[in-house]
Amino acid sequence: MIRASLAAAALALASPAWADAAAAWRPVSAETGRIGDLAGLEQLARDFPNSGSVRLRLLNAQLDAGKADDAMASLAWLKARGYVFGAGAQAQIPGMLGDKAEAAKALLIPQAQVIAASDVVGSIPADAGLIESVLAPGPPGVFIATSVTRRALFISAGADQWVRADIADADDLTGIVADAARNIGWIASANVDGSQDQHAGFSGLIGLTGDAEGWKLLAAPQGAAVSDIAIGSTGTLYASDPLGGGIYLAAPGAEALTVLVPPGTFRSPQGLAVSEDGQRLYLSDYRYGIAIVDLASRSVSRLGSDVPVIIDGIDGLWRHGKELIAVQNGTSPMRISAFELSDDGMRVVSHRILEQANPAWTEPLGGSIAGDALIYVGNGQWDRYDKGKLKEDMESLPTQIRRLPLAR
């Protein structure tokens, strides 16, 4: 009977009935993260049907409540999407399911498939500190990296030679994009690491122009701490605040960032990408999925999917043709995915894993699209720092810049 039930579940997972249409986005907050009752988590899983994080919370509640059949369904859901539990959970879960223990073991992927598809194209010295993102502005071998802890840029000068470029009054530097049409590079500056400095740095976007003016400043609203950035074809900038939850924008010629989506809609918005037609903004809310902001109406919907995928745990997000390229460092195993979008841009119609469980990774972080490749930080070091300082007995490491081909 168990085998028959699992076979039926597998057929259901592969059928169009699992297709998930785009829907209105349910606002989330810190309170959403504290939902622990079974009914509340079941509703949350319906509202965010492609979130691995939500499904794991539901599984824990099902196991605690002794809902063995429901827990088996959640394990089947996770297996269909390639989720790999740690060794401790793999040992513990079957024992919580009584006579379904052997069937549960069959739903646990023993270990992650390693897909190491990128090459190291640069190494930033350890004294650059915590590197968050890297931009490849054009010339081969030229990279510009942002340092959170040094509050400076590090620019390659060939053969792994790096020059530090300080920006007066900058705070932690994170996201970076280039506006090639206007010859401006934009960098996000804000206190995102919780460091407690006596003098706060500038919070907003800093535009480096290369002329006598030096730079332009687009201040964020009071209390906002922007980090990831995207730019539309018209030069409009979009920035996310992973701490406060707001999304901000600045059209060309603007003197400050203004609110696009106010705090209270997203819990921790991260990467951003503008649709090919410039009408929509895609953004990753780290534990819930990808949201779509209609830039005309400012309404928010959830990206749906026609295929079984996990669409949360996304840090960096970029558009490459009809695909969204996502660094998923918040799922297991960590991976870099390509989500092909439907013609209307509202659903995922296919999914490719470009790289996964690379043994050289610690955690992949930010980067930029350069031609048909993603240039990204391969060994993020957030786990080595606390409030802007190295943890006890920790040392900073050189940061790998990696190149991942995106072509099919």
pLDDT at 138: 79
pLDDT level of residue 17 (50, 70, 90 thresholds) = very low
User: Which of 163-172, 194-203, 238-247, 354-363 shows the lowest per-residue confidence on average (mean pLDDT)?
Assistant: 194-203
pLDDT at 110 over 90: yes
pLDDT at 308 over 90: yes
pLDDT at 13 over 70: no
Q: Answer yes or no: are the C-beta atoms of 227 and 240 closer than 8 Å.
A: yes
pLDDT level of residue 60 (50, 70, 90 thresholds) = very high
Provide the phi-psi class of 402: left if phi over 0, else alpha when psi is between -120 and 50, else beta: beta
pLDDT at 212: 52
Tokens (6 digits) for 68: 């063995």
Question: d(Cα 210, Cα 208) in Å, to the nearest integer?
Answer: 6
Measured between alpha carbons, how far is residue 211 from residues 49, 198, 207, 215 in Å?
A: 49, 31, 11, 8
Q: Answer yes or no: are the C-beta atoms of 49 and 303 closer than 8 Å.
A: no
pLDDT at 350 over 80: yes
pLDDT at 2 over 50: no
pLDDT at 160 over 90: no
Question: Of 43, 49, 57, which is closest to residue 22 (Cα–Cα)?
Answer: 49
Question: Of 143, 124, 117, which is closest to residue 335 (Cα–Cα)?
Answer: 117
pLDDT at 96: 97
pLDDT level of residue 408 (50, 70, 90 thresholds) = confident
pLDDT at 297: 97
Sign of CA dihedral 32, 34, 35, 38: positive
Taking every pair of Cα atoms in the chain, the longest distance, rounded to a whole number of angstroms, is: 76
Question: d(Cα 198, Cα 204) in Å, to the nearest integer?
Answer: 19
Give pTM, 2 decimals.
Answer: 0.94
pLDDT at 211: 67
What average pLDDT score do residues 363-372 get?
97
pLDDT in tens, 256-302: 999 999 999 999 999 999 999 999 999 999 999 999 999 999 999 99
pLDDT at 199: 75
pLDDT level of residue 197 (50, 70, 90 thresholds) = confident
pLDDT at 8: 32
pLDDT at 306: 97
Of residues 296 and 139, more confidence is placed in 296
Q: Bridge partners of 353?
A: 337
Tokens (6 digits) for 175: 């996201």
What average pLDDT score do residues 14-22 get?
52
What average pLDDT score do residues 323-344 get?
98
What average pLDDT score do residues 53-59 get?
98
pLDDT at 292: 98
Three-state SS at 125 = coil
Measured between alpha carbons, how far is residue 202 from residues 4, 22, 23, 219, 225 in Å?
A: 61, 38, 37, 8, 10
Tokens (6 digits) for 383: 């786990």
Percentage, residues of the chain above pLDDT 70: 94
pLDDT at 7 over 70: no
pLDDT in tens, 62-74: 999 999 999 999 9
Question: d(Cα 360, Cα 121) in Å, to the nearest integer?
Answer: 13
Tokens (6 digits) for 397: 């490491």
